[in-house]
Structure 1
């Protein structure tokens, strides 16, 4: 089978395409014919040894896949060859076949395309955990989403709207603003690129305040970090919840006096650890996501697809923050970058 391997420390240009032997499932495992592998921000980090998980080389990046079960390991029940599934791997997804512990599988309902399904788990799984379990979201609240045009950001816009909230989207271009509006955002703030000096930070805070309204944002969904975080915190509501998701713009230094003045919370969201600690609640969240999808309330946006031999291009584009929605590598070569 073909796979994309990280054999040396470095960026996407260091990845190589090779033919390797097919893996075989052991007890409690399944072999999956991969249909598609969605690209996520951790893929840009893991190949540089900057992610919390550092698999030994050579390894294939790619943390979430969709596909069809090709073989079952010894003693496994509840699954059958031909079942359509999605799974989170951490790494290993950029390959035509992968072995996965059956406990990590989720069944894909009929009527949902497998390529589209590959874009659900990490983005919407993170967001439903963030908004429901950490954000205690309620209908009628106002949600400010930073980085609202990427895969995770668009999932936050869609899910917040599905839960009956008003959504303000923060993005860096008019093209991204259009995507956020199409996903349901009620207001959009277009911000510049950091670093911000004191006056620029103050001006951005005022933009956020004007957009969320006098009551402030009940939830701030921050997947960007860096110089964007403090201005967003300044626009939070009394007893608001500031959700920390990720840091592609850097780790923010937050003035904690604002948490006192606003009586607000800063809450970390570590979806990966949550899935290991509470797999039953995570499974219920994923089932709810498929219900919302089938009800037409969410739909993952895949803006570009790539064949396996061009997987490095997808990782590079995401690293450069050029993606709108999700970038997906399709194993049969049918998808092409556009």
Structure 2
């Protein structure tokens, strides 16, 4: 089977397309012919050996591929050969086929293409858990999304809006503001302004002027970290919730516990892969709502660039170098 093969952890350019043994569907598993798989920043951490969970080598990277069921293992029910599915495979997507636990697969809505499914995978489920599970969003809440034009950021803007929230989109480049507004943001917070520590809060207060006495936001979703985290923490309303989902800025911030106490605010973290392993029933609820909102026309995947499997290294380099707007999807069987 052709696949992107990682024999030893190392730089992206050290890995190449090669052959891996054909996977088989064991008990409770299905075999999926991969039609599309998103290229994510986390994949670059996996292949370079910098991720917290590392597979045994050799392996093919690639999380949450979408494809067609091509074989059923013993004991599988509820799926059949030919079904179109999104899988929750933690790796193996950069390959022609992958074997997956049948309980970690979800039938695609008829209107959703493989490319759309792959483009939405990982970013929309991450956003759902950040909003629903960690931040406990309810209709009418105000949400500040940092890094709002990235993959998770755009998904969060769309989902928060679909869930009935007022959404403020944080952008570090004013030229990208239209992207966040098109995704459904109600207003923009400019993260490039001087003295971000104060200017972020001033902008939030100005845009929440009609809210009442407490002008802070109820929820902050933060994939950025660094100075943006420090400033956003000061812009939370009483009983506000900030959810940490990444550190794209490169600096991991710290929190003074007395500040949490004085403002009655909370900071939590999200590692979405843990939910796939520990709470599969909640993951099923997540996928059901995402698919339903997609079919209702309330979610629209980001613009997608497609690459053949042979260009997986270039795709990873483009993601790391932020050279592509929107998402990159590999087509292993094109």
TM-score range, shorter chain: over 0.9
**Aligned structure 1 segments of 4 or more residues deviating by more than 6 angstroms:** none
Report matched runs for 1:39-188 at 5 Å. Answer: 39-188=39-188
Residue 298 of structure 1 corresponds to: 299
Residues 135-155 of structure 1 show CA distances to partners (whole Å, capped at 9, x for unaligned) of 111111110001111111111
The aligned residue for residue 31 of structure 2 is 31
Deviation string for 1:202-258 (max 9, x for gaps)? Answer: 344434444455611100000111221010111111111111111222311223333
More divergent stretch after superposition (223-232 vs 14-23): 14-23
Residue 233 of structure 1: aligned partner: 233
For 1:278-293, list aligned pairs within 5 A.
Answer: 278-293=279-294
- Kept in 2: contact 1:63–1:88 (CA 8 A): yes
Whether 1:201 and 2:197 are equivalent positions in the alignment is: yes
- The Cα shift of 1:12 comes to 2.0
Distance in 2 separating the partners of 1:96 and 1:212: 50
Corresponding position of 2:216: 216
1:251 maps to which residue? 252
Q: Is the 8 A contact 1:150 1:323 kept in 2?
A: no
CA apart distance, 1:121 = 3.0
For the 8 Å contact 1:168–1:212, the answer to whether it is kept is: no
Secondary structure of 1:118's counterpart equals helix
TM-score with structure 1 length normalisation?
0.91
Residue 186 and residue 26 in structure 1: after superposition, are their counterparts in 2 closer, same or farther (change >3 A)?
A: same
Task: Please give the secondary structure, in 2, of the residue aligned with 1:328.
Answer: strand
CA spacing shift, 1:202–1:320, aligned 2, 3 Å: farther
Q: Does 1:8 align with 2:18?
A: no
Matched position secondary structure for 2:119: coil
* Structure 1 range deviating more: 63-72 or 168-177: 168-177
Structure 2 match to 1:314:
315
Q: Does 1:272 align with 2:273?
A: yes
What RMSD in Å do the two structures reach over aligned CA positions? Answer: 1.9
Which residue matches 1:336?
Answer: none
Deviations 1:114-167 (A, max 9, x none): 111112231111111111111111111110001111111111100110011111
Contact 1:221 1:244 survives alignment (8 Å): yes
Alpha-carbon distance, 1:41 to partner: 2.4
Calculate the TM-score normalised by the size of structure 2: 0.92
Q: Aligned-pair distance for 1:28?
A: 1.2
What stretches of structure 1 of length at least 5 have no aligned partner? 334-338
2:189 match: secondary structure: strand
Deviation at 1:18, TM superposition (A): 1.0
Deviations 1:153-193 (A, max 9, x none): 11110011001111111122234322111101111123249
